[in-house]
Every structure is written in C-alpha cells, then in structure tokens.
Chains A and B, each alone.
Chain A
Amino acid sequence: MSYLDNIRNFSIIAHIDHGKSTLADRLIEKTGLVEARDMKEQYLDNMDIERERGITIKLQTTRLQYKAKDGQEYILNLIDTPGHVDFNYEVSRSLAACDGAVLVVDATQGVEAQTLGNVYLALDEDLEILPVLNKMDLDSARPDDARAEIEDIIGLDASEAPEISAKTGMGIDEMLEKLIEVIPPPQGDPDGKLKALIFDSYYDSYKGVIIYTRIFDGRVKRGDTIRMMNTGKNYEVTEVGYCIPGTVPADELKAGEVGYICGSIKQVADARVGDTITLANAPADAPLKGYKKAQSMVYCGIFPAEGEKYENVKDALEKLQVNDAAFNFEPENSAALGYGYRCGFLGLLHMDVITERLAREFDLDVITTLPSVVYKVVMKDGQVLDIQNPSNLPPAALIAHIEEPIVKADIMTPNEYVGSIMTLCQNRRGNMIHMEYLTKTRVQLHYEMPLNEVIYDFFDALKSRTRGYASLDYEFLRYQPAKLVKLDILLNREPIDALSTIVPEEEAMAKGRGICEKLKEIIPRHQFEVPIQAAIGQKIIARETVRAYRKDVLAKCYGGDITRKKKLLEKQKAGKKRMRQFGSVTVPQEAFTEVLKLDDGR
C-alpha cells in the first residue's frame, strides 16, 4: 500500500452563503489542529472584509489529520476556493489541485446558479463530487427537495448525501467517513520529474512569496533550484512544508502532497496561479494544462483625495499588488483629479475589495472613478486600440467601429420571477439564448450581455427584483461590435474628464439625464448657478441646474456657547475639504462614485 492511499485532496464548493467557510471551521476544529479557543469565526477567511461580506477572496489551505473508523490515519488536504464569479480562474486552479470536492448545498435553499457553475468547474477538472446537505439544524430545511434538486439539476446521486449542520457540528464525522470513501487518493510518481501546480500564493514580509502547491509528480526540498515553467524564472527553494494551517517546515514535498514552497520571491506576480513548478536541472517535458494570465475585466481610476499624498497611494497599490497578481495599475493623469492610477480588476467585487482595503488597511483617502470595461476600438486605418479609459477614446471621426466585451450570464431563479428578470435583462441589452426548467419551479436563463451592463449594479438589481432568490454566474464570451458613444459631463460648461463614460448610443440620452439629476442632488449650492450638462461631442443632450446658494447663516449663538458654534464651523470646513475644486465649482468626492448608483428603475 502506498502512502498516497492515505491522502485526500479536496475542496469545498458551494454557493455564496451556503456555509462553506463554517464547514471548513468545523473540520479544522474536529481534526484538532487549531485549539477551540483560537478559533475565530470562519478561520479560513482571514481578511476582515472577507468575514464581513461572508466571501472568500484570498485562499487558505489546511492539512487535516483524521483517524477513520477503519483505524487508518488519513491526511486530508482542504484546499479553499474563492466564492465569487470574479475569481473563477482561481477557483478552477484550486480545483485542479484536488481529486475531489465536497459540494455543500444549503438544505433550506437548494441548488443555485453558482452551485452549478462550481460543479461544472469541478467536473472540468475530473473531480469526484460528494454532495452534502447543510443547515440541517434549521426548521426550514427541506432535505428531500434539496436531494431531488441535486439529482435533477446536477445529476449527482444524492441519496446518500450526508446531512450535516456545519454550525452545530452535526453529522461531520459521517461526512468525513464518506469523504474518504468517495474521494479517490491522489496519483503520481514521487520519483518522476517535478511537476507542481501553484494554486495560490501570498506575500509574507519575512519569507517572501509563499506558494501553495500540489505536487503531481516528483519531489522538492530546500536547496533545489525550481523553475516556473510559464514565466521561465528560476528560484532557489529556501523552505518547504505543510499548511497545518500556518506554515510548518518539512523535509520535502512529494507527489500527491499539498504544501508550500518559499524561495525569496519578491512578488506574487512571479509565482502566478496556474503556473507549473519544476526543477531547473531536470525539468518536466510540459507544464500542467490550464495556465492563464489573469485578465483584468474592469478598470477604474484611483486618485488621491484632497490632502492625500500621491506617493502614499502608490506605495499602497504596490503593496497590494505584491499579494494580488490579478490586480494591476499604471499612472494616469486626469485634468479633473490630477495624478492618479488606472487600475485593472477581475470584476466589480475585486475592485470594491481593493478600494476598501486602501481605506482600511492603509488609511487612505482616495477617489475612485466610474468603472469601465475594455473596449476594442477599430480605427479607420485598421489599427485596433484597447481602450479602458473613456478619456482616451479617439475622436469619433477616426473610429471605424467599437467592440465591447460580451459575457455569458446564467441566471437561476424561482419561476415566478422570470418575467421581471427578462425585462431587466432586456433593458440591459441582454440577448436570451435559451431558458430551461431545471425543476418545476426553478428556471435557468442563459443570456449574452455586454459586460458593461453587468458591472455597475446588475447584481443588485437582480436581487431586488427577485427578493434575493435569483443567482448569477457569468464569464467572458467574446468581443462584439456595438454602437457606442462617449458621454461627457460638463460642470459650469467645463468638461470633467473623470465623469466621462462610454455608453450605447440609444441609451445616451437617458444615461445623461440620470447622471445630471444625480449630480444635481450631490453638488452643493454655490453662490452662483451651476449648470450640469451631458454632451456627446458638441451636442448637449441633458441639462440640470444647481440653484444659487442663498443662505448659510446661523442666527442665534445660544447663551454664549461659542464652542458649539465653532464645532459647527469646523465641521463645515472639514466638509469642504472633502470637496474637489473644478474651476469655480466645488464637487464632493462622493460624486464620482455616487453617480454609479443610478437607480433609474431599469
């Protein structure tokens, strides 16, 4: 019997909120590797933002030891996956490191769009899937319905699916027994040429980049010179070990095992997720399949707010990038906002997380501009430009046509909401490919939609129209020509570049009007009238006016309470500091992000 037989490499896959992180916590607790008193809620989600939002962004991986009823000691490597469509590639690489997956289905909710999306990703990696019914402690649990959905929609036999409660710990032992039975042990040749998959990496200020890896063939130890097969870079290994969790050094890692490798690597971009590690002096013939360089789907400008230093923003962005290969940035200069950075993200959530971390971890005050997708601009001279900043769009006269990214969007919903979802998607320029009844009451809608329509507030709109019941999964499909124009916003007749957007021609009028109305609410009154205009080229298509300011006087100084008056004035002054001056017009910094929240009922 080989050592491989006592190893199980698995992931937990679930729809957001179905209890993946809680289950991971319970497993860690059960297998006794973390003292109960050290348990934080959801151990694996170790960024505050992750815990708050209940999502996993940065992966964690954990080696668990479990003594099974057959008397054998098993090593269970739990490989975490991020829980959001923005991070699908990362999910697929984590899954590639596994041999099986535990599919957690919320017994009160049933199967959802992401459940299916994640299952497909797992199937693509040839993983055995063990379905598990969670939240069985709740009165509203409907295990039979959930079982039927798993069988009907996913096609997995769920008759023996363990019924558990990750919250109370109920059924966890049974689940572990089942896991050992269903999920196969890894295969691999410990004496072959090294082939190790990087499924995550993060930066540690003492050890440099720590690579999480699954060894497929061969072995690796301290002192070896490793090579990243896709980037071609070589590093000397300074440490290898297991994640128990944390990093515990070991002599070597060999085929079938999961662990970490350090090699004085300066930034995570040098140890990209999906890359294959081999030995420089005895390289493998070919890397593992499936490597992709992270592609930014959404861009926005990040500028230092009034009183914030450009260098501070730069430092922070660099530090974030060290740990996030999917995030990139380059300097940008805006007439309105000065020097800043154009930043690329995997999606809107990724963008939110980065901007929030700038505020929280680096205490920075930044302005983020409207997010934009990358347009392919085909020029009349045949040149093709990638434009992600509306300000850089060439004059309309030089452009032959513009192409925009289209995504494949899968929406799963109870059937009663189909009508309103179809209206929503239609308004967002969605094109329905087909619709299928997964069960009598659950429908999956397949749409092709411009990414541009998805990135702003589509998810929120979807949730609000379906009382939170619909779920969404999307992925990039192709570029497609579209009639698009640049919509400029003028304040006091001066164009504000940071407020320009690229919009479909037929929607320009409505969008322009919406933005003008929103700005009218946001921009404080001045001592003069401030016209707000939306324009396409020279043509004004919408206009609002902020009336002149007439009154800002506190009549009474109550009983000599000068301090109170002073506090009011100081507050007013501080409020003004959060404003941006454009010519003679003062604009609150929120304006740049608030205009996004165009609730025009579409």
Chain B
Amino acid sequence: MTAGNMDKKRGIYIHMPFCVKKCRYCAFLSFDAEGSPRKEYTDALEKEIKLRAAQEKKNGTDKPVNTIYIGGGTPSVMDISSMSEMIKTVRRSFEVDPDAEFTMEANPATLGRKDGVMLAKLQAYKFMGINRFSMGVQSMDNDRLHFLGRIHTAENVARDMDMIRRKGFDNVNLDLMFSVPGESGDDALSDLEKILEFGPEHISCYSLQIEEGTPFGEMAEAGELTEVPDEEDRETYHRICRRLEDAGYEHYEISNFAKKGDDSDSPSPYRSCHNSLYWNMDEYIGLGLGASGFINGIRYKNTSDLNEYLSALSEGRLPIAEEHRNTAFDNISEAVFTGLRRREGISYEDAVRAYLEADDGEKKAPAESCDFRNFFWDIFAEAKEEAMGYAGRGLLIIDNEGLKLTEHGIDISNSIMSLFV
C-alpha cells in the first residue's frame, strides 16, 4: 500500500438499533423493535445520508464507496420497504462501486417465519445489492442460546442457512461466541464443528465479555455468574484457531477467520473488506444512531440518544455528538493498535505514512526521503524497551518491516497495544 489517502475509497456503516429482544449480555445500542419508531428512524437516516453526501460534494471530498455494512441491533427486523428506500438513497447519494462488498447483519429466526416469506425477503435483499450476510449464530446449543437470551434455536440457524444458500448468497459470516458461563472448551469446539458443517466463508469467534449495565453484568456482580477462567478461555481460543486452520480457514485478524481460496498462499478472497477498513486507517462514513466514522482526518461519533438523533435531522443538522481531528500521533497510534489486530501486523511504512499524511497543519518531510523504521521508533522511543521485552517473550514479532503479534501475543494484545497510545 503506497497510495495516499486521496486515491482510496471509502466504506459506509449504517446502524439499525432495533432488535426483537435484547440479549442478556448485550451492551450495544438497541431498542425493542416492537413499538419503536422504526419508520421515523429510517426517514431520519435517509436525511442523514443526503446531508452527509451533500456536505462531502460541497467540500469536494466525496469519494467512491467500495463497502457498505448494515449493522445493529438486528437490521433484519427492519421493514423491507423502508430498507429498500434507504438503500436506494445511499446509491443515489454516493457513488457505490458495482462490485462493492455489501454486508447485512441478520439474526437467525428474524428473516421470516414461513419459507415463502423468507425466500421473498432474501430475494429483496439480493435486489438491494446485499451480497454478504453476517449471522449472529453465537451457539449451536439450545440451552445455551436460551441462557444468552437469544430468540433462536440451532434448528433456526440450519433453516436460515439453507434458505440463504438456496438464494445463491455465497459469502456468509457466522458469529460464534465462546466462554459463556458454564460452557467447557469441548462445548465450544462442538459448537464450532456444527458451524463448520454449514461451510461458511467467514467465521468470527469472540469470547463473551460481561459488560456493566447488562443483565449478565448484574448477575456477575451479585455473584450469580461464574465467569470462565482466563486460562480456560485462552485455551479454548487457541483450540479454535487450530481447528479452523485445519479446516482451511485463514486467521487474518484476532477474531476473524476467512475460508481460503483456490490459491491457498494468497490472501483469502473472503476477508471482510469492510472490517479491514477499520484496521487499515481507511475512511468510512458512519450513519445512524451512535455510529462512528472517520473521514477527512476526522473521527466522529453520532449521538446515542434516539430523540436527539431524530430531532437533529428534522432540523436539518447532522446528529454528531463528538468530533476529533486526528493529530499525526493519533494517526500513527491508531494505525499501530488497529493494525496489530491483523495477523499480518503493521508495517513501519504504513504506520509512518499515516503519521505523515495527517492533516493537522504541521509540515512534514515527504515520505519518499524517510527511513520508516527509524522514524517509527523515534516516535515510540519510550515504548521500545517494553516492546522488545514482549518480543523476547515470544509475544510480538519485531522485524525490519514492522510489528505483528504472535498467536499468544493476541492473548494480551491490549497490554502490547497500550504501549503505542
């Protein structure tokens, strides 16, 4: 990657904060779909899309879009009609590449009760241009699904996958959650086997995080939840990594695995382009309640207050709650800690370019005349000794090109990343 930001394309993230029912571990921004102003929300969202696009055009900073990601919440609970209108607005407002990756998150058992309805809905999504599904499977054990507060069963997953495949969607991610209280490593591996049977192109594996302010958080505080010990959690993680490698998946990011293509030596064609934006310091426009974005050197976050969101847009204002123009150090720091999430790690060159390209008003030397490695360690001189310590313990690989975590380095990645902020 040598091209500057100017030639790069952008992604779009759209947030749909509604769910049939909130899961017991979820600290995410979401409301019960029933009784929430879903239509008002998509109307407001369309206004935001148009406002944002108009602003970019006015400033001359608009760029083609090569990924769209509709996340939630549960986007699949939204009405097809308003979804379709909203997506049309996106396409009218931004220049979307014909071959853009277009992902929608969907939860099992939300795509329709009857086969006929489900197939028709999937057809509609196909018309909209959605070409990748990300399914919140989490577990294939019905008791555990119930415990998590999910509304679906393992049978729902099987049926949904069947329908999705029947409609010809050939890029599907399945989320798997492990280290649920009461779950053994063997349980998690058995979930994984069942998930592998669907032959997903992409798998995301997360260990459950118990967050404050959730029902699980309260239970943990009251001593009613026994968290899986860290040692066990990490052992399960590494077993999952082994199993997925054996099954022909490329472990390209801490939690993400992509099925290898025909040429097993080159990067998998199924890596998530959209998520990769986050780890490459690429630009993305965040739209919707609580969405984050990074464009034109500015990180911003929309309001998380639904009423505030609706009223801002009814008054023709962007619903931005926080805005921060990245400094050169912000850029390199983020490049490093997000880049370290990738198994390929971060090259000195990419990190330093992020620094030099920062639009913070400071004049910097042209990148061509730069010794990236020295430049990098000059900036992080304070972190060097500790970083070397991690390298000495086999947790971090530091070479002439850059840095990357080892698989065991991942276990304590926050400690390593925090050296660079």
Write the residues of chain A forming the contact surface with B, with a CB cutoff of 8 angstroms.
Answer: 527, 549-566, 568-570, 572-573, 576
Contact = CB atoms under 8 A, between A and B. Distances in A.
B324 A572 contact: no
B278 interface: yes
A335 to B, nearest CB: 21
Given A552-B414, A568-B414, 5 more contacts: A550-B412, A553-B410, A559-B290, A562-B278, A566-B421
A557 B342 CA distance: 12
Contact of B414 (A560, A563, A569): A569
Contacts of B322: 563
B299 A563 contact: yes
B206 A556 contact: yes
B418 A569 contact: yes
A331 to B, nearest CB: 29
Given A551-B230, A555-B207, A569-B417, A562 B411 contact: no
Interface in B407-421: 410-415, 417-419, 421
A566 B324 CA distance: 13
Count class of interface residues, chain B = 35 or more
A259 to B, nearest CB: 58
Contacts of B254: 553, 555
B234 interface: yes
Contact of B234 (A550, A570, A576): A550
A556 B27 CA distance: 12
B341 A557 contact: yes
A555 B255 CA distance: 6
Contacts of A569: 337, 414, 417-418, 421
Contacts of B233: 550-551
Contacts of B413: 552-554
Interface string B255-291: 1000000000000000000000110000010100011
Interface in B342-365: none
A559 B71 contact: yes
B393 interface: yes
A563 B324 contact: yes
Contacts of B207: 555
Nearest to B293: A560
A561 B301 contact: yes
Contacts of B102: none
Contacts of B209: 554-556
Contacts of A551: 230, 233-234, 411-412
B338 A554 contact: no
B377 interface: no
Most buried by B among A557, A560, A561, A562: A560
Contacts, number: 93
Contacts of A559: 13, 15, 71, 286, 290-292
A569 B293 CA distance: 19
A576 B413 CA distance: 15
Contact of B418 (A555, A560, A561, A573): A573
A560 B286 contact: yes
Interface string B284-328: 101000111110000101000000000000000000001010000
A572 B418 contact: yes
B197 interface: no
Contacts of B15: 559
B375 interface: no
Most buried by B among A565, A569, A572: A569
B412 A560 contact: no
Q: What is the interface of chain A mostly: helix, strand, loop, or mixed?
A: helix
A117 B330 CA distance: 62
Nearest to A550: B230
B231 interface: yes
24 contacts: A527-B412, A549-B230, A550-B233, A550-B234, A550-B412, A551-B234, A551-B411, A551-B412, A552-B413, A553-B413, A554-B413, A554-B414, A559-B15, A559-B290, A559-B292, A560-B284, A561-B301, A563-B292, A563-B324, A564-B292, A566-B334, A572-B414, A573-B421, A576-B418
A550 to B, nearest CB: 4
9 tightest Cβ-Cβ pairs between the two chains A and B: A551-B230, A555-B206, A572-B418, A550-B230, A573-B418, A552-B412, A561-B292, A552-B414, A569-B418
B28 interface: yes
B393 A527 contact: yes
A563 B324 CA distance: 9
Contacts of A564: 292
Nearest to B300: A563
Interface in B188-215: 205-207, 209
A600 to B, nearest CB: 23
A568 B337 CA distance: 12
A527 B293 CA distance: 35
A560 B337 contact: no
B333 interface: yes
A549 B231 CA distance: 8
Contacts of B411: 550-553
Interface in B1-57: 13, 15, 28
Contacts of A566: 333-334, 337, 421
B137 to A, nearest CB: 15
Nearest to B253: A557
A560 B338 CA distance: 10
Given A570-B421, A576-B418, A560 B13 contact: yes
A552 B234 CA distance: 10
A560 B277 contact: yes
B294 A562 contact: yes
A183 B341 CA distance: 80
A527 B393 CA distance: 9
B278 to A, nearest CB: 5
A181 to B, nearest CB: 62
B412 A549 contact: yes
Contacts of A557: 278, 338, 341
A362 B15 CA distance: 47
Interface in B218-239: 230-231, 233-234
Contacts of B338: 557, 562, 565
Contacts of B341: 557
Contacts of A576: 418
Nearest to A565: B337
A437 to B, nearest CB: 46
A572 B278 contact: no
A569 B334 CA distance: 11
A307 to B, nearest CB: 12
Contacts of A555: 205-207, 209, 254-255
A560 B291 CA distance: 8
B231 A560 contact: no
Contacts of A553: 254, 410-414
A586 to B, nearest CB: 11
A337 B176 CA distance: 47
Most buried by A among B286, B294, B333, B412: B412
A122 B322 CA distance: 64
B85 to A, nearest CB: 22
Nearest to B334: A562
Nearest to B291: A559
A524 to B, nearest CB: 10
Nearest to B301: A563
Nearest to A564: B292
Contacts of A568: 414
Nearest to B416: A552
A573 B416 CA distance: 10
Contacts of B417: 569
A221 B278 CA distance: 78
B412 A558 contact: no
B126 to A, nearest CB: 24
Nearest to A557: B278
A244 B384 CA distance: 62
A564 B334 CA distance: 11
Nearest to B235: A550
Contacts of A565: 337-338
Contacts of B278: 557, 560, 562
A549 B415 CA distance: 11
